[in-house]
């Protein structure tokens, strides 16, 4: 089981802040993204955005990063704090 979380305008666009995903692991962040699109084709225009950032277990990573069972995978727009 992988815990997936979304933030900011992506959360608003998907109307989802969190979901669980069953995937055979280890896989990559890109695999998680693809699985989400397979389950929710209407998310294409928001989730296929190349500017999106991702984190695995609260560390920012690239989309080829590994994901293991029990990990938390986060997707969010470029950050704008400070």
Partner 1 sequence: MTDSSNVSDSHSDFDFLSVQEQDFDVAFEYAQLRENNSQDGAIVFFSGLVRDFNQGNDVTGLYLEHYPAMTEKALAKIIEEAKSRWPLSRVRLIHRVGQLYLSDQIVFVGVSSSHREAAFEACHFIMDYLKKKAPFWKKETTKKGDWWVESLEKDEKALDKWQDQ
Residues sharing a CB contact under 8 Å with residue 6, sequence separation 6 or more, in sequence order: 14, 16, 17, 18, 74, 75, 76
- Residues 43-62 contacting partner 1, CB under 8 A: 51, 55, 58-60
Rule CB under 8 A: say whether 2 interacts with partner 1: no
**Structure tokens given for 68:** 């293991």
SS3 20: strand
Rule CB under 8 A: say whether 81 interacts with partner 1: yes
Rule CB under 8 A: say whether 79 interacts with partner 1: yes
Q: Where on the chain is the footprint of partner 1 (CB under 8 A)?
A: 5, 7-9, 51, 55, 58-60, 72, 74, 76-82
């Amino acid at each position: 089981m992988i815990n997936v979380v979304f933030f900011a305008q992506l959360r608003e666009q998907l109307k989802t802040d969190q979901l669980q995903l069953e995937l055979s692991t280890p896989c990559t962040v890109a695999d998680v993204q693809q699985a989400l699109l397979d389950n929710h084709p209407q998310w294409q225009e928001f989730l296929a955005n190349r500017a999106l950032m991702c984190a695995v277990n609260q560390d920012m990573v690239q989309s080829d990063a590994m994901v293991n069972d029990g990990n938390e995978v986060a997707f969010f727009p470029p950050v704008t704090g400070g």
